[in-house]
Structure 1
Amino acid sequence: MVLRSVKESDNGDYRLTVNATGVSAQVSTNHTLHALEPVANVTLRASDSSPREHFDAVVLTCSARGTQLQRDWLFHNDPVRANYRITIAGDTLLIARVQRTDTGWYTCIVSNGLNNESAETFVNVYRKYRDAQSI
């Protein structure tokens, strides 16, 4: 059996029954179909692209279309790992009490086994007590 142009709406349980001609035998099997839609429209947004060190938090949100999406986060092309200041959950990465060393490019790579796409954004952390006229 071949299914062509499968869509996510085709997902579900299917039962295949084969009747052998001239034999009183019947074979049945059940299968579950999980169709994937490709990753598309990946965007990465920062809640604050100019936060103050040791004071502000930044939430990065990685949005995408597709099914069964997996997200990987990079900072300066290195994997981001959760720690006491960094929380990764679903499509968000939270950096609590940002530090100057958090300044740089963040990348979100979204994949699902069919394809992957990425988006990036720059966060520039300022000193906590910056002069308003120097901004």
Structure 2
Amino acid sequence: MDSHVLLTVGILSAIGFCSCQNEFLLNGPLNGAVGGSVEFTLINPPSALPDGITWRFREMPIFTSIEEAVLPNVVYDGRTIVNKSTASLKLRDLSQDDTGQYTVEITISGVVSRGITSLTVFERISGAAITITGGHPIVGERVNLTCDAQGSIITREWRKDGNPLHGDNIDELNRTVSISPVKKEDKGYYTCQVSNLVSSETASKRLNVKCECLFWTVPSYYTCIKLG
């Protein structure tokens, strides 16, 4: 084969001479909430009206149009809206099963171009609460403050009296603060913000620290030793 032909083939191979290499740029990666919606848009939309548009989820077609004909996937009936001028896709009524890779293939004058993006769907955070376990908040004892919530939890951030709370007494998941031994200065207002990429919620709890009791006289009454 002529050396010039070989050189030309090599150059075309190097720059990806294929009509379906990722020539369109899609927004994303996107994040969505269960029950919500997202819109996949092209950062560089087609310069001419597409002859055909195909959107896929994990290689499964979810919408196809060929000129005037539209072939939607019945599984997605009522959940997709496609703008046939810009090729954007709006996906509604999200579930966590919609998490994954999305591709679009656009045909203009017989040339097929492709774009890829991804979506992660989270459950919204709800019901955040702090519970106190492990004992009574008495000086010298041990207590645990545990922060939990419903939903897809990514981060938990603790504060005490408005100040960030850090240290070895917080477990690696930031779920539980262990106080041992309890000191007078541990009393205060504790908050925990639970978050993911689409929602957050803050729980609060006041820790009232008591001194150690010498004896009980009547219910709910006690005498305390002198603290230093």
Fold shared by both chains (TM-score > 0.5): yes
Cα distance, 1:15 vs structure 2 = 2.6
Cα distance, 1:41 vs structure 2 = 0.8
User: Are 2:135 and 2:142, in contact at CA under 8 Å, matched by a contact in 1?
Assistant: no
User: Are 2:128 and 2:147, in contact at CA under 8 Å, matched by a contact in 1?
Assistant: yes
Separation in structure 1 between the aligned mates of residue 183 and residue 176 of structure 2, nearest angstrom: 19
Counterpart pick for 1:64 among 146, 149, 160: 149
Cα distance, 1:48 vs structure 2 = 4.5
Separation in structure 2 between the aligned mates of residue 53 and residue 5 of structure 1, nearest angstrom: 51
Partner of 1:73: 158
Matched, 1:95 2:179: yes
Cα deviations across residues 109-133 of structure 1 (Å, max 9, x unaligned)?
Answer: 1122333221112222333x42231
Q: TM-score, normalised by structure 2?
A: 0.50
Q: What is the identity, as a one-letter code, of the residue corresponding to 1:126?
A: K
Query: Aligned to 1:34, what secondary structure does the other structure show?
Result: strand
Check 1:8–1:132 CA distance in 2 against 1; reply closer, same or farther (3 A cut): farther
Separation in structure 2 between the aligned mates of residue 49 and residue 43 of structure 1, nearest angstrom: 18
- Of 65-74 and 37-46, deviating more is 65-74
Partner of 1:109: 193
Separation in structure 2 between the aligned mates of residue 10 and residue 82 of structure 1, nearest angstrom: 38
Cα distance, 1:63 vs structure 2 = 0.9
1:6-85 equivalences in 2 (<5 Å): 6-20=94-108, 22-23=109-110, 25-48=111-134, 50-54=136-140, 56-83=141-168
Matched, 1:131 2:217: no
Separation in structure 1 between the aligned mates of residue 150 and residue 192 of structure 2, nearest angstrom: 14
User: Are 1:71 and 1:111, in contact at CA under 8 Å, matched by a contact in 2?
Assistant: yes
Alignment gaps of 5+ in structure 2: 1-88, 217-221, 224-228
User: Are 1:49 and 1:124, in contact at CA under 8 Å, matched by a contact in 2?
Assistant: no
Alignment gaps of 5+ in structure 1: none
Ranked by relative contact order (alpha carbons within 8 Å, sequence separation 6 or more), the top structure is: 1
Segments ≥4 residues shifted beyond 6 Å: none
Q: What is the identity, as a one-letter code, of the residue corresponding to 2:170?
A: T
Q: Decide which structure has the larger Cα Rg and report it.
A: 2
Separation in structure 1 between the aligned mates of residue 144 and residue 210 of structure 2, nearest angstrom: 16
Q: What is the identity, as a one-letter code, of the residue corresponding to 1:63?
A: D
> Percent identity, aligned pairs only?
25
Cα deviations across residues 31-71 of structure 1 (Å, max 9, x unaligned)?
Answer: 221112221111110114733323x2221111111224321
User: Are 1:74 and 1:108, in contact at CA under 8 Å, matched by a contact in 2?
Assistant: yes
